[in-house]
Amino acid sequence: MRHDHLITSKQFSRADIETVLDYAAEIDADPSAVADRHAGTLLGLLFFEPSTRTKMSFETAMKRLGGDVVDMGSIESSSVKKGETLADTVRVIEGYADALVLRHPKEGAATMASEFVDVPLVNAGDGAGQHPTQTMLDLYTIRENAGLDDLTIGIMGDLKYGRTVHSLAYALTNFDAHQHFISPESLQLPREVVYDLHQQDAPGIREHDSLEEILPSLDVLYVTRIQRERFPDENEYQKVAGEYQIDSDTLEAASDDLTIMHPLPRVDEIAPEIDETEHAAYFEQAHNGVPVRMALLDLLLSDDKAIGGEGDE
Ligand code: CP
């Protein structure tokens, strides 16, 4: 078994991404070909924050590869409630499982936890930090709908606390995508992320406070929820709540081929009237989590395959 950890999308080279996306497409076309590949393998699920898509699609992916999961369950029902540290929790559960998937409210938690275990540990979201497996399914969805070459993408909403945004922005530097970031000033991308993107020689990094000026040129619009739970002050959330809502009036200025994505859950960022249009790709995006996570798990758990560099970021 390989012992690589998957912590950040900064680990992904273009070749890694293409390997995962190509393999996910193969699995999507014929899931039965890998149905017994990991019979007997157990995946440990440690979710210290709520999740529907990430947790259930990892569980589905492991079961579709022939394995099963062991789930720590809610914080309330686990010994985290008694004050057990994250380091102790992961050290215990690595004895029960062949790989671990961790979601935690603290940025950096996955990096820290990975230093205490030998089995592969996958970051399923660490606070406002990173969510690299979401990025893989986002890239898969972009490739299916708009292509990854010569891409112009708008990324809109909560860019400060949105971990899916941070992960996606780094990964897109592998493809020289033109990235337009649209947000209120208070929710702009963290300056260190902007700095890093410029250091990667990303060709078109632009920040905007309005969608209007940039919408007609976009191939993809990636909308995000304002992450209420991460605001230190509820009054600050109320100042920006409800900004940037997409409805059919908004889309009059968009290209007919515009693909609209959202990592979900949504609150009120995208009106339900968009769901039945050709633009909407967000439910397809969520469904893509299964073949993409099957591909990632197989690559992480197999001796003969490798992705993500040394995996010790
Ligand atoms: N996209 C995403 O991470 O969704 P969940 O919070 O439901 O896992």
Ligand 1 centroid distance, CA of 59 (Å): 13
The predicted pLDDT at position 2 comes to 43
- 122: closest CA among 96, 95, 90? 90
The DSSP output letter for 267 is: S
273 phi-psi bin (left φ>0, alpha ψ -120 to 50, beta other): alpha
What is the pTM assigned to this prediction? 0.94
Indicate whether residue 51 lines ligand 1 (CB < 6 A).
yes
pLDDT band at 178 (very low <50, low <70, confident <90, very high): very high
Question: What percent of the chain is helix, strand and coil (3-state, nearest 5)?
Answer: 45, 15, 40
Indicate whether residue 60 lines ligand 1 (CB < 6 A).
no
The predicted pLDDT at position 201 comes to 74
163 is catalytic: no
Indicate whether residue 78 lines ligand 1 (CB < 6 A).
no
| Separate counts of helices (H) and strands (E) for the chain | 10, 9
Phi, psi torsion values for 277, nearest 5 degrees? -85, 165
Mean pLDDT, residues 155-172: 96
The predicted pLDDT at position 4 comes to 87
Q: For residue 55, give the ligand 1 atom closest to its CA.
A: 8
Has residue 108 got a pLDDT over 60? yes
Distances (CA, A) of 80 to 46, 84, 86, 147: 11, 5, 8, 43
Q: How far apart are CA 194 and CA 198, in angstroms?
A: 6
Q: 3-class SS at 129?
A: coil
> Tens digits of per-residue pLDDT, 11-53?
999 999 999 999 999 999 999 999 999 999 999 999 999 999 9
The predicted pLDDT at position 305 comes to 63
The predicted pLDDT at position 232 comes to 85
89 is catalytic: no
Q: How far apart are CA 136 and CA 292, in angstroms?
A: 7
- Tell me which residue has tokens 């009120």: 268
Token couple for 56: 């259930």
Has residue 169 got a pLDDT over 80? yes
The predicted pLDDT at position 233 comes to 86
Tell me if 109 sits within 8 A of 122, measured CB to CB: no
Q: 3-class SS at 162?
A: coil
Indicate whether residue 132 lines ligand 1 (CB < 6 A).
no
- 267: closest CA among 158, 119, 127? 158
- 263: closest CA among 176, 143, 139, 150? 139
